[in-house]
Amino acid sequence: MSERRSATPAGPRSLDGLTASATWLLVGNGFALGAQWLVAVLLGRFVPAGHVGQYAMGLALCAPVFVFADLQLRTMLSTDSRGDFAFGDYLRLRFALLAVALLVVGGVALLGRHDRASTFVVLAIAAYKVCEGVADILHGRLLQRERMRRCGLSMALKGLLVLALFLAAMWATHNVLVGVGAMVVALVVVMVTIDAPAVRRLATASRTPTGPRGSWSGAARALAKGLPLGLTGFLAAATANVPLWVVERTLGKEDLGYLASMVYISAVGSAAMLSIGQATMPRLALLYSQGNARSFWRIAGTVACLAAVGGVALTLVIAVKGEALLGWLYGPGYAARHHVFTLTALAAATGLVATALGQSVTATRAYRSLVVPYFAVALVVAGASLVLVPRLGLRGAPMALAIANACACGTSLYLLLGKLRISSRGQGPVIPIASVDPTEGTGEQP
């Protein structure tokens, strides 16, 4: 049975409705981000540095593999306003890619020159990434149907439960493996009790199947469609990390620690932009498929302006209070490098605008057109880092990232102008995957 059903889509949601949706997602992402930060802090408090290194190594091995295997399927699903693929196609592809990623990480961990304890920690983190990937695709289905409140609540509860179980495990055992295992349990509990039932209720309400239907041929077509998006995700991750890699190689791990701590503080704005993007991309995708360029620009422009204002505010606050903030959080050694903190805030500000514009381009589902620009931006940041970091020291890394983000803004704006000129000429009727109740308001059922 196909999931594609002819129906009349709801009209474009007001900006007030999108603001409410973004607020729910901001709360959820805030709890999740806060939990990740506190896990890192607690880990340093409960175990020696060598054991923290096991955890860091596990993340380093798993991150690139799972980022590429992710293919940003949640974004593909949430912006699939035409019903190009059945939900079962996405689900089959996600399970297949997670299995491949688990095998790759497991092979690297078992064949690498690691002690037994480190190998088990790597495998536990890989299991955590698998659970995270399953929950991610379920959230994609909720976001597609604009159930932002449920998605935000799920992320918030997940963050709280992960933190609580991790704290309990570390308090009782002081063992990294047990702590990561507790995090896996927390993800499974939230996924089984909240995420999966929400998707099933969505299927009942809309009379569309959301189980593992679809076909492997559909999954293969989705793979072909999503490969460019997975590659751009990998390139985006590389762009953000290249300056850190160059700092570590050129200046050493101590300077890397200073810079990474500053980057983490300035990443608060990224969580907000992620939430806004998750709320607006499904609506932008629908407007683009309808050829409604005016409404598309209204929402995309508003988000980009919010990103610019937020970035300027962040930079000003850190320029004025950055030294005091660093001294309060980390100590005088960090406060002495507050000028680097200001440059990091400037890089974050340009990154917010680049993210906003990039999300709007992604909503057009023109994934192939993103690969070359993202690759070019990665080359820019690599070249700038290799030139600026040796000459300017720690200040060179955020400067290189700011240059790359500015280039990303220009390429995204160029792509948007071209895509919307084509869309505004008309693309024929839209066939949404299911009817949307126009009385939903914020997209939630009572």
**45 and 137, same domain (yes or no):** yes
Burial 383-396 (b: 16+ CB within 10 A, else e): ebbbebbeeeebbb
Which residues form the domain of 373? 228-426
Same domain? 164 vs 264:
no
SS3 366: coil
Q: Of 152, 186, 214, which one is at a domain's C-terminal end? A: 214
For residues 318 and 419, membership in a common domain is answered with yes
Phi-psi category of residue 207: left, alpha or beta, with phi > 0 → left and psi -120 to 50 → alpha: left
pLDDT for the residue numbered 418? 78
Q: What pLDDT score was predicted for residue 163? A: 94
Distance, CA of 307 to CA of 351 (rounded, Å): 9
3-state helix, strand, coil in the chain (%, to 5): 80, 0, 20
**Does pLDDT of 435 surpass 70?**
no
Tell me the percentage of the chain whose pLDDT exceeds 90: 27
Claim to verify: residue 196 and residue 273 sit in the same structural domain: no
- Residue 166 predicted with pLDDT over 90: yes
DSSP 213: -
Quick check: is 444 in a domain? no
Same domain, 295 and 409: yes
- Whether 196 and 136 map to the same domain: the answer is yes
Query: What would the pLDDT profile of 272-329 be if each residue is shown by its tens digit?
Result: 777 677 678 878 888 888 888 888 888 888 989 988 998 899 889 999 988 888 777 6
Domain-embedded: residue 436: no
The torsion angle over the Cα atoms of residues 369, 372, 378 and 381, rounded to 10 degrees, is -100
Compute the distance between CA of residue 409 and CA of residue 418 in angstroms, rounded to an integer. Answer: 14
Contacts of 370 (CB under 8 A, 6+ apart): 228, 229, 232, 358, 361, 362, 415
Q: Which two tokens stand for residue 195?
A: 């995420």
How high is the pLDDT of residue 49?
A: 55
Query: In this predicted model, what pLDDT tens digit does every residue of 334-369 receive, in sequence order?
Result: 788 888 889 999 998 999 899 888 888 888 877 777
Whole-angstrom Cα distance, residue 125 to residue 55?
A: 8
| pLDDT tens for each residue of 170-184 | 999 999 899 999 999
Residues 190 and 252 in one domain: no
Domain-located, residue 142 = yes
Taking only the tens place, the pLDDT of each residue in 232-243 is 878 887 788 788
Do 300 and 208 share a structural domain?
no
User: Would 130 be classed as within a structural domain?
Assistant: yes
In total, how many domains does the chain have? 2
Give a yes or no: residue 219 inside a domain: no
Q: What is the pLDDT of residue 61?
A: 76
Q: 260 with 354, same domain?
A: yes
Same domain, 104 and 131: yes
239 and 200, same structural domain? Answer: no
Which DSSP symbol is given to 439?
A: T
Q: Is the pTM of this model over 0.85?
A: no
End-to-end CA distance of the chain: 29
Residue 233: what pLDDT?
Answer: 78
Residue 440 lies in a domain: no
Quick: pLDDT tens for 76-133: 888 787 778 888 899 999 999 999 999 999 998 888 777 788 899 889 999 999 999 9
Q: pLDDT per residue over 55-68, tens digit each? A: 767 776 787 789 88
Question: What does the mean pLDDT of the chain come to?
Answer: 80
**CA angle, residues 190, 195, 197, in degrees to nearest 5:** 110
Residue 100 lies in a domain: yes
pLDDT above 90 (res 191) = yes
Helices 293-329 and 338-363, axial angle in degrees (round to 10): 160
- At residue 9, the pLDDT reads 38
| Cα 332 off chain centre by | 33
What the block records as the tokens of 148 is 């932002």
Q: Which pLDDT does position 193 carry in this prediction?
A: 94
Q: Please give the torsion angle defined by the CA atoms of residues 105, 107, 109 and 111, in that order, rounded to the nearest 10 degrees.
A: -160
Please check whether residue 431 lies inside any domain of the structure: no
Same domain, residue pair 208 and 233: no
- Digit-coded pLDDT (tens) for 37-59: 778 767 767 776 567 667 767 77
